[in-house]
Copies of this chain bind each other. A is one copy, B any other.
Amino acid sequence: MLEQRKPITVAEAVQRVMLKEIPFKSESIHIEESLGRRLAEDLVATHPVPPFDRSPYDGFAVRSADTKTASRENPIDLRVTETIGAGSVQSVPVGEHEAARIMTGAMMPAECDAVVMLELTSEPEKGIMRIKRAFNKGDNISFKGEDAKEGTVLVQKGEMINPGTVALLATFGYEYIKVASKPVVGVLATGSELLEVNEPLEPGKIRNSNALMAASQIKRAGAEVKMLGKLSDDLEACYESVKQAMEEVDILITTGGVSVGDFDFLPEVYQRLEAEVLFNKVAMRPGSVTTVAHKNGKFLFGLSGNPSACYVGFELFTRPVIQRMMGNPKPHLPLEDAVLGADFTKPNPFTRFVRGTFSIQNGRLEASPSGFNKSSAVSSLAATNCFIVLPGGTRGFTAGDQVKVALLETTEGSEWSW
């Protein structure tokens, strides 16, 4: 008996997934491991930056009042009290007509209010410095708090930690940081035709490219991978494997087996699991058979066995769940305007996600299909850094048309805006 499935729109499908409660866990990690993780708490300035008035140059800290009459014709000489190196503090007060030699980054002496750069001074005799112009209060000082004031939220919870964030974490002494835990995503493949990557080709068989591809997409999305091997051809064994896998992971991905063929066991497995099937048909190409089920707070993503369809299904449905589990308020692929760089003449009954390559040309995004465009295509995926999103009900597109592109190789995200 042939099951009749009712396709829903991509937007409706994404919504059904994202409206489920998505759990969030955090953990504490060392700063050296923090790059690329997402903050589980706001990064707050725990002290002003700089923490004290300091000199941005090598030179002399002076009392500006002492310099008021200095000029080329009437140079002023000041007695040098001491040298304040970076990291040191003054040991004696700087009195009238005195100055302190000061290094870049060193704390200003309390009595001084300006810095004179070394190259503007001379040393007429040992212990005396001479200047030939006046300085104003505040000249050449890096003021306490000018970079950041104490208590300011500098980076918000949910943001990804980049090298600049690491610099801030170090500045404020966060040796350990609370970040979102990485969800563990299991990958189970189905398909009697699948050989392992290290097996020689046989007639009728192909190597399993989807599992390793999905594993890489999981890593790119920031999560941990658990490779769970291949499902058996036996329904009962299949059910047991999926049930077991659900215990071990936060999210389960299967590739293949979601169609309506005689050997597509997953629909039956979902039923036995008593999982809620959120949808099993989406009005899109490729990936129309993508199925998402949900059970006890965990998602099962039934991705297509076709490489391109599997790839698209992951990015549209699994990636945002992973991102949301890590607290990203913008979990979806960023969707941007672009100019189509080449004709795409296929008529389009459903929304189409053409694997594309975008580049920036004179400040504008331009995107072209990245190659062979069947659901089963694998060769074009290596050149793919975006999906060209072509709406359904259209009769093909020509170079120069305005299109939307969803960007893949980016640390940015977007709210749902499709």
CB of A31 within 8 Å of the partner chain: yes
Known A52-B203, A204-B87, A379-B154; judge A105-B164 contact (CB<8 A). Answer: no
Task: Write the nearest CB–CB distance from A159 to chain B, whole angstroms.
Answer: 8
Known A261-B103, A384-B164; judge A376-B191 contact (CB<8 A). Answer: no
How many monomers of this chain does the complex have? 2
For this complex, into which size category does the number of interface residues on chain A fall? 35 or more
Interface of A is mostly: loop
Which residues of chain A (32-50) have a CB below 8 Å from chain B? 32, 35, 43, 45, 47, 49-50
On whether the beta carbons of B201 and A47 are closer than 8 Å, the reply is yes
State in angstroms the CA–CA spacing of A411 and B220 once bound together: 12
Task: Write the nearest CB–CB distance from A118 to chain B, whole angstroms.
Answer: 7
Please choose the segment from A9-17, A66-74, A235-243, A334-342 that sits at the chain B interface, where 4 or more of its residues have CB less than 8 A away: A334-342
A147 surroundings in chain B (CB, below 8 A): 372, 374, 376-379
A167 contact from B142, B170, B213, Cβ within 8 A: B213
State in angstroms the CA–CA spacing of A208 and B58 once bound together: 19
State in angstroms the CA–CA spacing of A336 and B106 once bound together: 38
List the B residue with the shortest CB-CB distance to A210.
B167
A200 contact from B148, B173, B210, B363, Cβ within 8 A: B173
A345 surroundings in chain B (CB, below 8 A): none
Known A162-B409, A259-B58; judge A118-B2 contact (CB<8 A). Answer: yes
A263 surroundings in chain B (CB, below 8 A): 85-86, 103
A163 contact from B47, B172, B213, B259, Cβ within 8 A: B213
Which residues of chain A (190-245) have a CB below 8 Å from chain B? 191-194, 197-201, 203-217, 219-220, 227
State in angstroms the CA–CA spacing of A362 and B211 once bound together: 36
On whether the beta carbons of B201 and A148 are closer than 8 Å, the reply is no
CB of A398 within 8 Å of the partner chain: no
State in angstroms the CA–CA spacing of A87 and B168 once bound together: 55
CB of A410 within 8 Å of the partner chain: yes
A212 contact from B31, B49, B377, Cβ within 8 A: B31
* Complex A-B: 7 CB contacts under 8 Å: A49-B379, A83-B262, A87-B193, A105-B191, A164-B213, A170-B197, A174-B197
A binding-site residues for B, Cβ under 8 Å: 2, 31-32, 35, 43, 45, 47, 49-52, 56, 58, 83, 85-89, 103-107, 118-119, 142, 146-148, 152, 154-155, 159, 162-175, 191-194, 197-201, 203-217, 219-220, 227, 259-263, 305, 307, 311, 334, 336-339, 355, 360, 362-365, 372, 374-385, 402, 409-412
